[in-house]
Amino acid sequence: MPNPFGIVLTVGQWIYDATAKERIYYIEVEGIGLTNAQAQSNGFRLAVETALGTLITSEAEVQNGRLRRDEIISYAAGFVEKFEIIQTKSTPEGYAVIMKVWVRRSALADRLLGSSKTIGEVDGAGASVQLQTLNQERATGDALVISVLNDFPKRAFDIKLNQAEVVRSNRSPQIEIPFAISWSQDYLRSFWTALDATSQKTSKPDAIITINPGWGWMFKGYGGQAKFDDKNKYFLLVKKMVASRPAVLVTLRDNNRTVISSYCYRYQELDHDPQYHVTEERFVKLSPYNATAFLNGAYTMNSRISIPIQAQTLEQIAIVDMDVVLGDFCSK
Residues 222 and 142 in one domain: no
Residues 177 and 315 in one domain: yes
Q: Which of 128, 149, 170 is the last residue of a domain?
A: 149
The pLDDT tens digits for 258-311 are 999 999 999 999 998 877 766 778 999 998 788 999 999 999 999 999 998 887
Residues 95 and 193 in one domain: no
> Assign residue 114 a region: left if phi > 0, alpha if psi is -120 to 50, beta otherwise?
left
Give the CA distances from residue 189 to residues 40, 58, 88, 92, 212, in Å, rounded to whole numbers and listed in that order.
Answer: 36, 17, 45, 46, 10
Residues 314 and 171 in one domain: yes
Overall number of domains in the chain: 2
Task: Tell me the C-alpha distance between 209 and 214, whole Å.
Answer: 15
Residues 69 and 166 in one domain: no
The arithmetic mean of pLDDT across residues 125-153, rounded, is: 79
Is this model's pTM higher than 0.85 or not?
Answer: no
Q: Is the pLDDT of residue 52 over 60?
A: yes
Q: Which of 124, 149, 174 is the last residue of a domain?
A: 149
Residues 137 and 267 in one domain: no
Q: Which of 149, 175, 196 is the last residue of a domain?
A: 149
Q: What range defines the domain where residue 320 resides?
A: 157-331
Answer whether the bond into residue 205 is a cis peptide, omega within 30°.
Answer: no
User: What pLDDT shows up at residue 108?
Assistant: 44
Residues 137 and 111 in one domain: yes
Give the CA distances from residue 47 to residues 87, 125, 145, 175, 226, in Å, rounded to whole numbers and listed in that order.
Answer: 16, 18, 23, 61, 26
Task: Tell me the C-alpha distance between 157 and 270, whole Å.
Answer: 11
Residues 163 and 229 in one domain: yes
Looking at residue 107, the DSSP 8-state letter turns out to be -
Residues 182 and 268 in one domain: yes
User: What pLDDT shows up at residue 183?
Assistant: 95
Q: Do 230 and 209 touch, CB atoms closer than 8 A?
A: no
Degrees (nearest 5) of the Cα angle 126, 127, 130? Answer: 90
Q: Do 30 and 22 touch, CB atoms closer than 8 A?
A: no
Residues 110 and 172 in one domain: no
Q: Do 183 and 158 touch, CB atoms closer than 8 A?
A: yes
User: What pLDDT shows up at residue 42?
Assistant: 87
Residues 247 and 319 in one domain: yes
Please, what is the average pLDDT of the chain? Answer: 83
Residues 129 and 167 in one domain: no
The pLDDT tens digits for 155-195 are 999 999 998 888 887 778 889 999 999 999 999 999 998 89
Please choose, from the candidates 264, 306, 304, the residue with its C-alpha nearest in 3D space to the C-alpha of residue 170. Answer: 306
Helix (H) or strand (E) holding 330: helix 327-331
Query: How many separate helices (H) and strands (E) can be counted in the chain?
Result: 7, 19
Give the CA distances from residue 59 to residues 104, 125, 143, 145, 204, in Å, rounded to whole numbers and listed in that order.
Answer: 28, 35, 10, 11, 32
Q: What share of the chain is helix, strand, coil (3-state, %, to 5)?
A: 25, 40, 35
